[in-house]
């Protein structure tokens, strides 16, 4: 029983980072932009948040956790938003190829994260181990009271606020996308920007807004990983491939944020399943780590078998839009 | 930014080659300025010194020069491998995985057969094995693309990580010394399975193999019937069907070639360079090569230049970073900045921009 | 008496594409309030470009636009909406995965929270007022063409458009659907709305509009009251000089059976029959025309014969000069060649010239190679013969191009078609299939294409052509096969049949469906 509870907790902890990444990427992709720079954006968000909190904690006698949280969040949002802005300028205004630009952004962003993560102590004058203990602890604070309830408290209430924020955000995005006029406009742009344009929607503005906002939200996934999951420390390449899994999750969720919520838990579970299966040799563990990718591939193949219109990627995904291109 | 009424943008019919290159040169120049500013901001190093340092790091010694050439060649080979796939508009984002399985096949032969056969035989075997491994990795997504139109961008991307897990799986069996979780230098005493020097040049074979593939690919794409089929399928599958081209077979065959060449890049990396294998053997080259191939418009000669430039800057940045005890990922930041500028410059080559008077 | 303000007035509008193409050259146009104005011109005369400047798709290089007497600047579709202008494009601007109602409210301001039930109530009221037939909750991809057009019109009305522009609205409709549309348009005129209808069909102009404005080659020719106009006076304005509409039709010589189709059935992606039990015989030395409203199975028929579309039932066979009959359906081209049963060469000029028959980004030589690159042994392709062919076509057909190495996508529509037809004829076919051979072509190019087809007919080739313009079809074909909903509803003699007769056959069995 207790192993199961721990397994669920760990699975959710693994999933939330991907959920942020996927929620952001869904917004982006619904505007017709396939941003393969998400892994880079997550690194940028993570390191920027960490640096913000680090500068604050290092410069203050008695740092207050909640201030560290706010500063790190702002830094993460700004850094990953700026990263997405580079992508937007290149792909929307300058009409560069989206795949190539996204990959360049990932190269840049991952390098950005690892460079500053690996050089931060040197740049700050050799302070040794980078750690933002106070801010990290605030991020990890569980819901008081409720988390003490046995079993239910452990499964439902034992996480930091980012976990609930991530879930609420996904629900909000879902509401926005399917129950508001602006959401309808956004979906229309992803399907056919020319049609949306003819209907009087400012396609460029929407694309910029969706991509920058989506990128910023994806960056929170990096922040979550650094702060709540790792408790405010940085390990180079510590994210591993979670950024790509976030993109996989978008496909798995069939571009619906609600599906991304449970999908992220499932991905998290698959990601750590090898630790909970007794009697696995080291080599078999490595095979088990393939599961999330294999599952995504299967979903990909399955949706291409069933050609249901509603399950397909946004029609214009990957193409830039130019009004006089006719 | 959101309204184009005062800014008139029109596609160019054509552009003189020198104008296009001038625009690209300006972009590279601007990116170098931005890079210098970034490096200056981090190290307070005099910008002139920065570029001296980069130069020194990339080609400062004969050994460094050869490493730069070696890495240029590998990057070029991957870009060459990606060319037919992209020409077919098949987004092979899976070079990373194709390199890894090719490298793993090579490493396996080095470890298990290294001492049991003469070098030429072993070399040919490793070459064929890496080719075959890369081919398989390329053909899997191609089959699904051909028959079910499964999205290849995401499929090949996912396969990268499956390949990575296969490598970590192998490392469990190959680790040396035990418990290190790394393979170490394979056959460091006997040098069995190491790509030998060619005429006294340590990386002579690397250069020769890559240039041969470059030339071969140029001929294949330009003059062969299969190359023509690839071009037609890339432009329009309806036209290809109309011309009785077997689209499915073309997709699968072309991805076999593409994956196979990337697999050989894995062979060069393991047998011809690092003599070990790890999950970072490909080291993002599969992604960088996509950008190289794209930016070069699949022109082999331009690919050589772009590959060299990127590797040059990467080596230089690593040199400066280590000089200042900074993290070597600085090179990725530099690469990223340069790529952003070159990607953006393509717009000014494709489109003409004019300011129109306000109509009042 | 108060002078009525014009709904729209265009003064000296000029629009260029690139440096060479002038799509509109100092065009003037007036739309009065509460009238239906026909904008008449051949394909490529600049009608759509001109209207796109009213709908905010293009921005004029020179000239002024007045709406309701005030000078305006229309730089985006939104500006156009705000001025009460609604344009219904030839290619519908609808989003396939959304419902009719969602498409209608797209881009409109309103409360953040979207209550679809309320929206649908509003739309339904409008639909009922004008007597449309439309299901608000139906997704666009489940709709027929005329349903989609209805959604477009309702969309414009819902947005309060006072000025409606329709770009060739009848091209995709049956005669009955056209009549319904015209009734609706007359209702709107009665309501005080102003309407521009772009068309090149003279009888529609005469039946519907109050006045007619004519464009020719991007230039404004003039405007006449419809009551003063006749078909021949309008034609003269449209083409510039009195041209004989007579298309040459030689008598078939020694017709012989070449192609036999029996019981042919094809299924589309959704499993619906796109061709249903189609049987006919094509003879060498005659032109067999194919009539039908858009999407009645014409494309599938030609593609089934060329083995590009899988068949679910029936057979297609070729007959040799000696009378030997060989089934070709269901056999790959390699298979047919290997068996040595090569009896009839089939050439095919598809509807989508640059998307199927040619590769737009490739030059003429490489496009000639599409049919011949396999020739010769070895792995390398021969480019010498295709180049020679390209050069000879340029001379023989008068193709205007800077040279054989210019991408064909840069050529004008007529020249593109000459490249394609020229290549297909150069293969010395026994059967020539042609889809919409003159769509988008000017009159001279069109006649050149008709002549090429007649030449082939005289050589004993079986020509099968799909043409949407019934007038042309009736003058060109020896026999006419009429398709409706994938079924053959009749094969008639082109020399005797009338337009009404064919029009009825085209809609046979379609009636129940269109009323549901």
Per-residue pLDDT band for C14 (boundaries 50, 70, 90) equals very high
Of C333 and B208, the structure prediction assigns the larger pLDDT to B208
Contact check, Cβ <8 Å, B347/A95: yes
Residues 6+ apart with CB under 8 A from C80: A200, C54, C55, C56, C74, C86, C87
Per-residue pLDDT band for C199 (boundaries 50, 70, 90) equals confident
User: Does residue A47 carry a pLDDT above 90?
Assistant: yes
Cβ contacts of C357 on chain B, cutoff 8 Å: 239, 242
Contact check, Cβ <8 Å, A180/C106: no
The average pLDDT across C501-509 equals 72
- Order across the sheet with C431-435: list the strands: C346-349, C431-435, C462-466, C287-291, C479-484, C487-493
Per-residue pLDDT band for A15 (boundaries 50, 70, 90) equals very high
Task: Compute the distance between CA of residue A169 and CA of residue A23 in angstroms, rounded to an integer.
Answer: 8
Identify the weakest region by mean pLDDT among A126-135, C155-164, C215-224.
Answer: A126-135
Give the 3-state secondary structure of residue C460: coil
Task: Give me the residue from B158, B159, B172 closest to A282, CB to CB.
Answer: B172
Distances (CA, A) of C239 to A301, B340, C445: 55, 52, 13
Which of C184, C213, C194 lies closest to C32 in space, CA to CA? C194
Give the 3-state secondary structure of residue A324: coil
Per-residue pLDDT band for A1 (boundaries 50, 70, 90) equals low
Per-residue pLDDT band for C21 (boundaries 50, 70, 90) equals low
What count of other Cβ atoms lies within 10 Å of the Cβ of residue C231? 12
Q: Is the dihedral of CA B197, B199, B204, B209 positive or negative?
A: negative
User: Does residue A326 carry a pLDDT above 50?
Assistant: no
Could you give phi then psi for residue B228, rounded to 5 degrees?
-65, -45
Of B179 and A244, the structure prediction assigns the larger pLDDT to A244
Give the 3-state secondary structure of residue A64: coil
Task: Give me the residue from C333, C355, C362 closest to B238, CB to CB.
Answer: C355
Of B358 and B316, the structure prediction assigns the larger pLDDT to B316
A188 close contact with C: CB closer than 8 A: yes
Contact check, Cβ <8 Å, B359/C73: yes
Contact check, Cβ <8 Å, A197/C94: no
Of B168 and C268, the structure prediction assigns the larger pLDDT to B168
Q: What percent of chain C has pLDDT over 70?
A: 92
Chains with 3+ CB–CB pairs under 8 A to B are A, C
Strand partners, C219: C25, C216
Query: What pLDDT, on a 0 to 100 scale, did the predictor assign at position A266?
Result: 93
Angle at A137 between CA A131 and CA A140, to 5 degrees: 125
Is A16 exposed, middle or buried, given 0-12, 13-18 or 19+ CB atoms closer than 10 A?
A: buried
Task: Compute the distance between CA of residue C42 and CA of residue C201 in angstroms, rounded to an integer.
Answer: 9
* Domain ranges within chain A, ordered by starting residue: 2-311
B331 close contact with A: CB closer than 8 A: yes
pLDDT in tens, C137-154: 999 988 888 889 889 989
Task: Compute the distance between CA of residue C148 and CA of residue C146 in angstroms, rounded to an integer.
Answer: 5
Strand partners, C16: C22
- B65-314: which CATH topology? ABC transporter involved in vitamin B12 uptake, BtuC (1.10.3470)
User: Does residue C123 carry a pLDDT above 50?
Assistant: yes
Task: Compute the distance between CA of residue B243 and CA of residue C366 in angstroms, rounded to an integer.
Answer: 12
CB-based contact C470:C503 (threshold 8 Å): yes
User: Does residue B4 carry a pLDDT above 60?
Assistant: no
Task: Give me the residue from C55, C113, C139 closest to A180, CB to CB.
Answer: C113
pLDDT in tens, C261-320: 999 999 887 778 889 999 999 999 999 999 887 778 899 999 999 888 888 989 998 888
The average pLDDT across A108-122 equals 86
Identify the weakest region by mean pLDDT among A170-179, A298-307, B261-270.
Answer: A298-307
**The 3-state secondary structure of B310-348, one letter per residue:** HHHHHHHHHHHHHHCCCCCCHHHHHHHHHHHHHHHHHHH
Per-residue pLDDT band for B359 (boundaries 50, 70, 90) equals very low
Contact check, Cβ <8 Å, B336/A107: yes
B-facing residues of A in 13-42 (CB < 8 A) are: 34, 36
Q: Which homologous superfamily is C244-345+429-516 in?
A: P-loop containing nucleotide triphosphate hydrolases (3.40.50.300)
The average pLDDT across A123-128 equals 66
For testing the chain B interface, which of A22, A83, A119 should be mutated: the one with the most B CBs within 10 Å?
Answer: A119
The average pLDDT across C26-46 equals 87
Task: Give me the residue from A94, A108, A123 closest to B336, CB to CB.
Answer: A108
Task: Compute the distance between CA of residue A104 and CA of residue C479 in angstroms, rounded to an integer.
Answer: 61
Query: What pLDDT, on a 0 to 100 scale, did the predictor assign at position C242?
Result: 44
Contact check, Cβ <8 Å, A185/C58: no
Question: For chain C, where do the domains classified as CATH 3.40.50.300 start and end?
Answer: 6-239, 244-345+429-516
pLDDT in tens, C362-392: 999 999 999 888 888 888 988 899 999 999 9
pLDDT in tens, B252-297: 999 999 999 999 999 999 998 888 999 888 888 999 999 899 888 8
Distances (CA, A) of A145 to A1, A153, B117, C261: 22, 9, 70, 80
Per-residue pLDDT band for C1 (boundaries 50, 70, 90) equals very low
Quick one: closest CA in B to C383, which residue? B223
Q: Whose structure tokens read 């004969």?
A: B62
- A2-311: which CATH topology? ABC transporter involved in vitamin B12 uptake, BtuC (1.10.3470)
Distances (CA, A) of C48 to A194, C21, C42, C67, C416: 16, 15, 11, 19, 21
CB-based contact B184:B107 (threshold 8 Å): no
- Distance of residue A194 Cα from the nearest chain B Cα, in angstroms: 15
Domain C6-239: state its class: alpha beta
Cα B27 to chain centroid distance, Å, stands at: 21
Contact check, Cβ <8 Å, B172/A283: yes
Mean pLDDT across chain A, nearest whole number? 89
The average pLDDT across C81-108 equals 89
Which of C103, C141, C188, A312 lies closest to B154 in space, CA to CA? A312
Q: Whose structure tokens read 């955000």?
A: A169
The average pLDDT across A87-95 equals 94
Helix B62-87 and helix B95-113: axis angle, to 10°? 120
CB-based contact B171:B165 (threshold 8 Å): no
b/e string for A159-189 if b means 16 or more Cβ within 10 A?
Answer: bbebbeebbebbeebbebbeebbebbbbbbb
Cβ contacts of A248 on chain B, cutoff 8 Å: 154, 157-158
Q: What percent of chain C has pLDDT over 90?
A: 35
The average pLDDT across A17-42 equals 95
Query: What pLDDT, on a 0 to 100 scale, did the predictor assign at position C3?
Result: 53
Highest mean pLDDT among A206-220, A265-279, B49-63, C487-501: A206-220
CB-based contact C82:C56 (threshold 8 Å): no
Distances (CA, A) of B159 to A110, A125, A290, B261, B306: 20, 42, 9, 17, 27
Give the 3-state secondary structure of residue C80: helix
User: Does residue A117 carry a pLDDT above 90?
Assistant: no
Query: What pLDDT, on a 0 to 100 scale, did the predictor assign at position C47?
Result: 87
Which of B285, A91, A307, A289 lies closest to C269 in space, CA to CA? A307
Task: Compute the distance between CA of residue A69 and CA of residue A75 in angstroms, rounded to an integer.
Answer: 10
Is A70 exposed, middle or buried, given 0-12, 13-18 or 19+ CB atoms closer than 10 A?
A: middle
Q: What percent of chain B has pLDDT over 70?
A: 96
User: Does residue B1 carry a pLDDT above 50?
Assistant: no
Termini Cα distance of chain B: 21
Contact check, Cβ <8 Å, A103/B287: yes
User: Does residue C162 carry a pLDDT above 60?
Assistant: yes
User: Does residue B231 carry a pLDDT above 70?
Assistant: yes
| Long-range interactions of C112-119: CB distance < 8 A, separation 24+ | C112/A180, C112/A181, C112/A182, C113/A179, C113/A180, C114/A179, C114/A180, C114/A181, C114/A183, C114/A184
Highest mean pLDDT among A39-53, B301-315, C297-311: A39-53
| In C268-406, beta strands by DSSP E | 273-284, 287-291, 313-319, 325-327, 346-349
Task: Compute the distance between CA of residue A261 and CA of residue A164 in angstroms, rounded to an integer.
Answer: 11
Is C438 exposed, middle or buried, given 0-12, 13-18 or 19+ CB atoms closer than 10 A?
A: buried
Contact check, Cβ <8 Å, A180/C114: yes
Residues 6+ apart with CB under 8 A from C490: C481, C482, C502, C505, C508
């Amino acid at each position: 029983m207790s192993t199961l509870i721990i397994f669920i907790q760990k699975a959710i902890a693994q999933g939330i980072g991907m959920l942020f990444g996927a929620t952001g990427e869904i917004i982006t992709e619904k505007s017709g932009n396939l941003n393969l720079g998400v892994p880079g954006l997550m690194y940028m968000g993570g390191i920027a948040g960490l640096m913000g909190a680090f500068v604050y904690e290092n410069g203050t006698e008695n740092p207050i956790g909640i201030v560290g949280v706010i500063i790190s969040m702002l830094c993460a949002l700004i850094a990953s938003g700026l990263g997405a802005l580079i992508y937007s300028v290149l792909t929307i205004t300058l009409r560069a190829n989206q795949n190539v630009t996204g990959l360049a952004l990932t190269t840049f962003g991952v390098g950005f994260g690892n460079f500053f993560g690996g050089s931060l102590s040197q740049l700050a004058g050799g302070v040794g181990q980078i750690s933002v203990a106070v801010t990290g602890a605030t991020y990890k604070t569980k819901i008081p009271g409720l988390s003490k309830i046995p079993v239910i408290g452990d499964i439902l209430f034992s996480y930091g606020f980012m976990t609930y924020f991530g879930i609420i955000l996904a629900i909000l995005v879902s509401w926005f996308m399917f129950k508001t006029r602006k959401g309808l406009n956004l979906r229309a742009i992803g399907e056919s920007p020319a049609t949306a344009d003819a209907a009087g929607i400012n396609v460029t503005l929407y694309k910029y807004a969706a991509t920058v906002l989506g990128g910023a939200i994806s960056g929170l996934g990096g922040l979550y990983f650094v702060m709540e999951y790792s408790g405010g420390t940085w390990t180079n390449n510590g994210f591993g491939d979670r950024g790509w899994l976030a993109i996989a999750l978008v496909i798995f969720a069939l571009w619906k944020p609600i599906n991304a919520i449970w999908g992220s838990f499932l991905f998290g579970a698959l990601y750590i399943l090898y630790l909970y299966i007794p009697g696995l040799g080291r080599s078999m563990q490595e095979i088990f780590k393939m599961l999330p990718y294999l599952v995504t591939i299967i979903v990909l193949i399955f949706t291409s078998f069933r050609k249901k219109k509603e399950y397909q990627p946004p029609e214009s995904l990957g193409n830039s839009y130019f009004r006089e291109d006719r | 930014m959101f309204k184009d009424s005062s800014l008139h943008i029109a596609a160019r019919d054509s552009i003189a080659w020198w104008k296009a290159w001038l625009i690209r040169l300006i972009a590279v120049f601007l990116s170098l300025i931005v890079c210098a500013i970034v490096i200056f901001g981090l190290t307070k190093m005099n910008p002139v010194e920065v570029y001296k340092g980069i130069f020194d790091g990339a080609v400062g010694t004969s050994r460094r020069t050869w490493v730069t050439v070696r890495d240029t060649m590998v990057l070029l080979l991957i870009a060459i491998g990606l060319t037919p796939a992209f020409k077919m508009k098949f987004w092979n984002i899976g070079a990373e995985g194709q390199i890894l399985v090719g490298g793993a096949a090579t490493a396996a032969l080095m470890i298990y057969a290294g001492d049991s056969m003469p070098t030429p035989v072993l070399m040919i075997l490793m070459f064929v094995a890496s080719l075959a491994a890369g081919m398989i990795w390329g053909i899997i997504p191609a089959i699904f693309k051909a028959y079910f139109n499964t999205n290849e961008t995401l499929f090949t991307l996912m396969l990268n990580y499956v390949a990575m897990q296969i490598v970590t799986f192998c490392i469990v069996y190959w680790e040396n010394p035990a418990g290190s979780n790394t393979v170490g230098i394979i056959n460091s005493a006997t040098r069995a399975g190491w790509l030998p020097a060619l005429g006294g040049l340590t990386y002579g074979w690397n250069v020769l193999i890559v240039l041969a593939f470059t030339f071969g690919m140029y001929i294949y794409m330009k003059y062969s019937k299969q190359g023509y089929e690839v071009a037609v399928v890339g432009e329009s599958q309806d036209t290809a069907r109309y011309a009785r081209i077997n689209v499915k077979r073309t997709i699968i065959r072309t991805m076999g070639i593409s994956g196979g060449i990337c697999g050989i890049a894995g062979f060069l990396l393991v047998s011809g360079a690092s003599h070990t294998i790890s999950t970072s053997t490909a080291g993002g080259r599969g992604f960088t090569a996509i950008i190289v191939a794209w930016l070069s418009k699949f022109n082999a000669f331009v690919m050589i230049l772009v590959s060299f430039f990127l590797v040059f800057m990467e080596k230089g940045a690593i040199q400066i970073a280590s000089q200042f005890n900074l993290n070597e990922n600085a090179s990725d930041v530099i690469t990223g900045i340069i790529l952003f500028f070159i990607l953006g410059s393509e717009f000014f080559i494709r489109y003409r921009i004019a300011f129109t008077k306000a109509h009042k | 008496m108060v002078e009525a303000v014009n709904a729209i007035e265009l003064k000296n509008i000029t629009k260029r594409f690139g440096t060479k193409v002038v799509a509109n050259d100092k065009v003037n146009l007036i739309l009065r309030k509460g009238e239906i104005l026909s904008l008449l011109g051949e394909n490529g005369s600049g009608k759509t470009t001109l209207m796109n400047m009213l709908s905010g798709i293009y921005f004029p290089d020179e000239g002024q636009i007045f709406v309701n007497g005030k000078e305006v600047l229309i730089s985006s579709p939104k500006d156009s909406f705000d001025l009460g202008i609604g344009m219904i494009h030839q290619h519908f601007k609808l989003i396939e995965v959304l419902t009719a109602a969602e498409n209608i409210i797209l881009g409109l301001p309103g409360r953040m929270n979207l209550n679809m039930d309320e929206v649908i109530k509003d739309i339904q009221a409008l639909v009922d007022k004008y007597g449309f037939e439309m299901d608000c909750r139906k997704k666009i991809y489940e709709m027929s063409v005329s349903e989609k057009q209805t959604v477009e019109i309702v969309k414009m009305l819902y947005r309060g458009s006072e000025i409606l522009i329709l770009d060739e609205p009848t091209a995709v409709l049956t005669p009955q659907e056209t009549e319904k549309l015209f009734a609706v348009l007359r209702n709107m005129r009665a309501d005080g709305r102003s309407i521009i209808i772009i068309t090149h069909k003279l009888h529609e102009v005469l039946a519907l509009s109050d006045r007619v404005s004519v464009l020719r080659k991007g230039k404004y020719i003039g405007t006449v009251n419809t009551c003063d106009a006749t078909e021949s006076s309008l034609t003269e304005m449209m083409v510039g000089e009195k041209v004989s509409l007579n298309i040459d039709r030689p008598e078939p010589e020694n017709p012989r059976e070449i192609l036999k189709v029996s019981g042919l059935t094809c299924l589309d992606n959704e499993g619906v029959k796109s061709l249903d039990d189609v049987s006919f015989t094509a003879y060498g030395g005659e032109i067999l025309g194919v009539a039908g409203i858009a999407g009645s199975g014409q494309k599938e028929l030609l593609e089934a014969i060329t083995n590009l579309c899988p068949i679910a039932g029936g057979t297609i066979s070729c007959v040799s000069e000696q009378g030997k009959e060989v089934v070709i359906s269901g056999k790959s081209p390699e298979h047919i060649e290997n068996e040595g049963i090569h009896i009839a060469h089939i050439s095919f000029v598809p509807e989508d010239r640059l998307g199927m028959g040619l590769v737009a980004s490739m030059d003429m030589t490489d496009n000639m190679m599409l049919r011949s690159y396999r020739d010769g042994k070895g792995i390398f392709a021969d480019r010498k013969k295709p180049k020679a062919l390209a050069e000879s076509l340029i001379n023989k057909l008068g193709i205007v191009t800077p040279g054989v190495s210019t991408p064909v996508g840069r050529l004008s529509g007529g020249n593109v078609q000459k490249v394609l037809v020229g290549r297909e004829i150069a293969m010395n076919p026994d059967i020539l299939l042609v889809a919409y051979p003159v769509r988008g072509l000017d009159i001279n190019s069109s006649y050149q294409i008709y002549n090429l087809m007649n030449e082939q007919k005289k050589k004993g080739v079986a020509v099968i052509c799909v043409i949407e313009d019934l007038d042309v079809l009736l003058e060109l074909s020896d026999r006419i096969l009429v398709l409706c909903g994938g079924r053959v509803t009749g094969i008639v003699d082109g020399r005797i049949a009338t337009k009404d007769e064919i029009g009825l056959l085209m809609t046979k069995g379609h009636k129940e469906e269109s009323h549901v």
